[in-house]
A = this chain, B = another copy of it.
Amino acid sequence: MPEPHDAIEVIVAKRDGAVLSDSQIDWVVDAYTRGVVRDEQMSALAMAILLNGMDRREIARWTAAMIASGERMDLSSISRPTADKHSTGGVGDKITLPLAPLVAACGVAVPQLSGRGLGHTGGTLDKLESIPGWRADLTNAEFEAQLESVGAVICAAGAGLAPADKKLYALRDVTGTVEAIPLIASSIMSKKIAEGSGSLVLDVKVGSGAFMKDLDRATELASTMVALGVDAGMHTVALLTDMATPLGLTAGNALEVRESVEVLAGGGPADVVELTLALAAEMLAGAGRGDIDPAAVLASGAAMDSWNAMIAAQGGDPHAPLPVARETHVVAAPSTGVLTRLDAMAVGLAAWRLGAGRAALGDPVQGGAGVVWHARPGDEVAEGQPLLTLHTDESERFERALAALDGGFDISAPGTSYAATPLILGRIG
């Protein structure tokens, strides 16, 4: 059968500012998956989309075409309502770890397919893999069985889900076309819709440590994704949350697991608790269980029980000692005063350079590496007191991590007033 379109026709249409037809979009996504549209053609199209944009209908159709490129999961056999959460990625963003078992403990099932980290933001699977024995790869049958019995699964997405997105994401990564809102939104939402959850909460990060540096672009991305979710029949809400400052007091794999367990035990940093409870409330409301108070369930210890069950179900020992880095280096406060800024990107880069993240897919990561900060913006600090502790197995990594932190924080005169930025900047849905 002859092809109904050709690559140059579609590229030239978008290049010249036209709106692509449903038929052009369906064809180009499918033909790219089949290899008929070549990488060099799709990268030219991606650049034209980045520079000339797509309207809502085009983005919805593009997303549908990427879903149609692979399998869709069917969670209709699960006896509880389902709710999923996706974060666009930030520094110290370990929220999925306490959140999934907390929501499960509230009676809503959480099917969470996650990724590994690339660059300065950590990956949820990398964090969980620091737990001895825990494994990320489950079959579809194991995934569904655990979702029914434990109520929460965090695992790697299988290769069958939205293969067009996998191929396109890898291409965008090497062609300078990652930062296109239509392509970011359709990439995230094609996977989330294909996962089959009944509801979804998006945590769209804004600030230096996030993909979206300003609120306008983050709002545009969030609105685009919410519309895609709603159009696909999934209850979808987005929170816009601050990522100028890193979340909690730790960035790094085992360091963040430890902090997450503190939250599940009723402690932990206030911002991590606040965001976990806010997202849990949205997930419960989306799943029709807005009557449940997640704070009460967290205080009851039921979320910790769900955590232990979830880790054990995937081969992990929730009580085993977590890896600890061989070397540490303390950065002392250079003056006495008020910490008025701690830059998320600087901390994320430092943690990455210490070995918590990878430069290329497939690289190993260090379980114990990362950064701990001993003060948060607004705190008083005294000259010489420990401000940050760097952790790594390889002391030669300290130099480049310290370079990343250079200029990454401000200490103002003692008594300087500090107006805290709200953690939750907005809500769409």
Contacts and interface: CB of A to CB of B under 8 A. Distances in A.
Interface in A40-64: 40-48, 50-52
A109 to B, nearest CB: 40
A49 to B, nearest CB: 10
A82 B360 CA distance: 54
Given A11-B47, A39-B39, A47-B51, 13 more contacts: A7-B175, A7-B176, A11-B176, A15-B47, A38-B174, A40-B42, A40-B43, A41-B176, A43-B44, A43-B47, A47-B47, A47-B48, A51-B52
Contacts of A51: 15, 47-48, 51-52
A51 B14 CA distance: 11
A175 B52 contact: no
Nearest to A13: B176
A47 B7 CA distance: 14
Given A15-B47, A48-B47, A51-B15, A174 B7 contact: yes
A78 interface: no
Interface residues of A, number: 24
Assembly stoichiometry (copies): 2
A176 B12 contact: yes
A177 B48 CA distance: 10
A171 interface: yes
Interface in A1-60: 7-8, 11-12, 15, 38-48, 50-52
Contacts of A44: 43-44, 46-47, 175-177
Nearest 3 pairs between A and B by C-beta? A11-B176, A47-B47, A44-B175
A11 B175 contact: yes
Given A47-B47, A47-B48, A176-B8, A171 B40 contact: yes
Contact of A41 (B48, B52, B174): B174
Interface of A: 7-8, 11-12, 15, 38-48, 50-52, 171, 174-177
A8 B41 contact: no
14 contacts: A7-B174, A7-B175, A7-B176, A11-B47, A15-B47, A15-B176, A40-B43, A40-B171, A40-B175, A41-B175, A44-B44, A44-B176, A47-B48, A48-B51
B40 A8 contact: no
Contacts of A45: 176
A174 B39 CA distance: 11
B176 A50 contact: no
Nearest to A8: B176
Contacts of A7: 174-176
A178 B8 CA distance: 10
